[in-house]
Chains A and B, each alone.
Chain A
Amino acid sequence: MIEHRHVYISTPRWAKVADRGLRALSYYALSFTGLHQLVGRHPLFEENSFTASWTGFLALVLLAASMVAGTAALTGKAQVEYVSLPLLLGVVGARLVLGLSAVGVSPVVALMLALWFLMAARYVWIHVAVTRARMIKRTAVTVLAPEED
């Protein structure tokens, strides 16, 4: 049996393109949701209330943050995605709480919950890569090329 642990297989180009494209599509779907809430005629709460204004503000932040994250995913800027993901997770979580409060469990709420978990997984993935890169940098400075006394 072949040991695959130390065999370096480079990812094919189409897989990278599909990965970026599908992730960007998910983010743009979220931004479309924000846009739909901003301009749509389906308010969750009665108009001219603080909750309605707050929901509108959340939709605006959701639109902006997911546009930034989608563009970052499309252009392969993982660090920009890493910065925008916590904000996006918070806004989607807040929107989930408001949606559950207003209409209960609905298909849109379930889809947003699924996207929330996908984004959390992506955040953990990038965080692990960042931690590894930091460890490499630290090891390269202190172990492999120590300063002379």
Chain B
Amino acid sequence: MTPLAATLASIGGVVVSVITALATLSKTLADRRHGIGEHELATSRFGLESMQASIAVKDAIIVQLREQLEESRQEVRELKVQIEDLQTEVELLKEASGRSATP
């Protein structure tokens, strides 16, 4: 490789690295504005695991609550049927008592 070619290649490499460094700088500044600092970086590994655990617990709670909701709906349906039966029974009893009251 001639010195000129090596110089041109190295200039290209440095230009690319400067652009990358500026992009990284702007992203890091944006991160710091959004509250991602040194501490968040240092604890990100355990933070991610605890976050995944929290999300798993949240999903489990949602599934459990959905099952309870379905059970409650089923109970409500059964109670409605019981109420309708009781209302029918009450009406029959009223009719029967009205018939027996007439001479």
Contact = CB atoms under 8 A, between A and B. Distances in A.
Interface residues of A, number: 42
Interface in B28-60: 28, 31-32, 34-38, 40-42, 44-49, 51, 54-55, 58
A98 B40 contact: no
Nearest to A78: B41
B1 interface: yes
Interface of B: 1-7, 9-11, 13-14, 16-18, 20-21, 24-25, 28, 31-32, 34-38, 40-42, 44-49, 51, 54-55, 58
A103 B44 CA distance: 44
Nearest to B50: A136
Interface stretch (A17-25, A26-34, A80-88, A106-114): A80-88
A101 B2 contact: yes
A79 B28 contact: yes
A124 interface: no
A50 interface: yes
A134 B37 CA distance: 10
Contact of A6 (B3, B13, B16, B49): B49
Contacts of B58: 143-144
Given A8-B46, A76-B38, A126-B41, A86 B1 contact: no
Nearest to A130: B41
Given A82-B28, A132-B47, A94 B11 contact: yes
